[in-house]
Amino acid sequence: MTVPARMPRIAQVHLTIFLLLIATVDRGHAATPSVGRESIRLNDLKQHVAFLASDTLEGRSAGTRGGHAAATYLAQQFRNLGLTPAGDDGDYFQEFGQGYRNILALLPGSQSGRDQEVIIVGAHFDHVGYGKSTNSYGPLGQIHNGADDNASGTAAILEVAEALALLEPSPQRTILFALWDAEEAGLLGSAHWVQHPTVPLERVRLVINADMVGRMRNDRVITYGCNTAAGLRRCVAFANQQSRLNIDLDPSHRDDSDHWTFFQRQIPYLMLHTGEHPDYHRPSDDVERLNYDGLHRLAQMMYDLTRIVADTDDLGSFRGGSSGEVQSKLVDAAPKPKPRLGLAWQQRNSPDEPFLVTHVVPDSPAAEAGLLEGDLINSIDGATPSMVNNLRDAVLKAESQVRLQIVRQGIDEPLDMTVYLRGHPVRLGVHWRINPDEPQTVIITSIVPGSPAARAGIQPNDRLYPPGNKITSGADWLQELVERSQDSITLHVDRAGQLQTIQIKLLPTPAT
């Protein structure tokens, strides 16, 4: 697209700039979390992106007039929100290098003591100007507007900042909103800040980084850093309850965005990203190619995420082992548990029919008791088939054995057999592991076929959290919950970053 073809949009952008620069946020009325979330508006995101990615700013290269104009605009947004300047000399700017400027603003925490801890929520706002052979895939010499990289992330930060600034009380931990300059020159803005921090570096508990979040496809958001501190994945899942995005959890650690600076300092991070595309570092990365609905949903999820991590009681410390987890599954497959009985049977046409054995697992309790393929199970613990709704349930809930009456071809009289079952009675029907770095997270490794968990749809690799999002005292919370529950339990199930609440009707204990 030629520059003249963009002139009508530039005129529109100039009007938008004027309206946005004079706007201020009305904080006269306290907002609930839901009101804060609803304050994140699609049209506001569009306006911010339209300005930042306009030809007027000439690609926002760090240290240029376009980069300075972007910085001035962003500082004015923070000023309009009433946020506390967190740059140098009581200003929003932290100047460094060759005319570069980080833009920094604080939202002080509301809880005494916890307000000394800081969450950084940031994005880089610079781009590559007209493009050079070292930073562009061409064509060179044309304005690279960087709508996705990273006007999208910058706009999201502005909307999240506005939403959080509306809350009364504000989040418990202090939030530093950081818009980094010169990221495209080698993460220079964040590197300068950690060398010259405007809040003590040791107070920073977590960094949230939004980079290229405007080209969402199939509701997918790639999330890095969940393995850098205990509980971060859980926070992401709870933050995603309303947005319902497909969270792609990547255990690798990218070194090409500002979170890397903090990861190198052993500070936990989360990076949100919607993926690369053919317009990356090309003049074609323009506003009309963005998925604004996706950006809107992601910004709302970021707001929920920031609020959750700022208020949580159990924000974990840096996990030293996370640096070695590169593109590997965090949960290895556990050995498949051996069956309690070891039978397969044919589906019955009516409740009165006996159970026809179609397979006997070698070396199983059923095989050791002498059952054979073709046997008909005529009764279980004295109950006829019509009285037994589910043979599998009868086996799962039995204390240690079941008595079967068998009709076998070629033998006139029924055979009475006692089968000594393997393991303990089953009420829920899951096998799991505990991640040592997340002791309150139950990671499902296998499901007992036909069990209450299987009927409820629980799957391997699901993560279970205690009901009510409560922090428990130990790793045995699921076992304790099942043992003390009379009839059913309620669990939070995290599947690929999407949270659902499931009620599971348990099998009765043998005593009942």
Q: Which residues does residue 127 pair with via DSSP β-bridges, in sequence order?
A: 61
> Among 253, 215, 210, which residue's Cα sits nearest to residue 123?
210
| CA 437/CA 435 separation, integer angstroms | 5
To the nearest 10 degrees (0 to 180), the angle between helices 232-239 and 292-311 is 130
Query: Greater confidence, 15 or 38?
Result: 38
Work out the average pLDDT over 112-139: 97
> Dihedrals φ, ψ of 331, to 5°?
-120, 115
Place of tokens 């079967």: 404
Q: What are phi and psi of 220, to 5 degrees?
A: -90, 130
What pLDDT is stored for residue 32 in this prediction? 79
Query: How confident is the model at residue 326, as a pLDDT?
Result: 42
Q: Tens digit of pLDDT for each residue in 375-416?
A: 999 999 988 877 776 788 889 999 999 999 999 999 999 999
Instruction: Please state, in angstroms and rounded to a whole number, the distance separating the CA atoms of residues 494 and 331.
Output: 14
- Homologous superfamily of the 343-420 domain (CATH): PDZ domain (2.30.42.10)
Least confidently predicted of 48-62, 147-161, 284-298, 462-476: 462-476
- Alpha-carbon distance of 500 to 463, in angstroms, equals 11
pLDDT greater at residue 221 or residue 321 = 221
pLDDT recorded at residue 18? 42
Would you say how long the chain is, in residues? 512
Assign 3-class secondary structure to 391-411.
HHHHHHHCCCEEEEEEECCCC
Q: Please state, in angstroms and rounded to a whole number, the distance separating the CA atoms of residues 159 and 298.
A: 11
pLDDT band at 156 (very low <50, low <70, confident <90, very high): very high
Look at 188-197, 347-356, 372-381 and tell me which has the smallest mean pLDDT.
347-356
How much is the pTM? 0.84
pLDDT band at 100 (very low <50, low <70, confident <90, very high): very high
Domain boundaries, the chain: 46-324, 343-420, 430-505
Q: Is 269 helix (H, G, I), strand (E, B) or coil?
A: strand
Tell me if 46-324 shares its fold with 343-420.
no
Share of the chain above pLDDT 90, in %: 74
CATH number at 430-505: 2.30.42.10
Token look-up 């049977």 returns 345
Between CA 182 and CA 85 the distance in angstroms is 20
pLDDT for 27 equals 44
Rounded Cα distance between 181 and 128, Å, is 11
pLDDT band at residue 352 under the 50/70/90 scheme = confident
CATH of 46-324, one of 1.10.4080.10, 3.40.630.10, 3.40.190.10, 3.40.50.1580: 3.40.630.10
* Statement: residue 278 has pLDDT above 60: yes
Number of H helices, E strands in the chain: 13, 19
What integer best gives the mean pLDDT of the chain?
89
Q: What is the 3-state secondary structure (H, E, C) of 126-177?
A: CECCCCCCCCCCCCCCCCCCCHHHHHHHHHHHHHHHHHHHCECCCCCCEEEE
Give the model's pLDDT for residue 309: 98
Write down the pLDDT at residue 366: 96
User: Rounded mean pLDDT of 349-355?
Assistant: 85
Residue 329, pLDDT > 70, answer no
Q: Are 267 and 239 in contact (CB under 8 A)?
A: no
Q: What is the spatial distance between Cα 95 and Cα 1, in angstroms, rounded to a whole number?
A: 35
What's the 3-state SS for 364-396? CHHHHHCCCCCCEEEEECCECHHHCCCHHHHHH
Between residues 286 and 509, the one the model is more confident about: 286
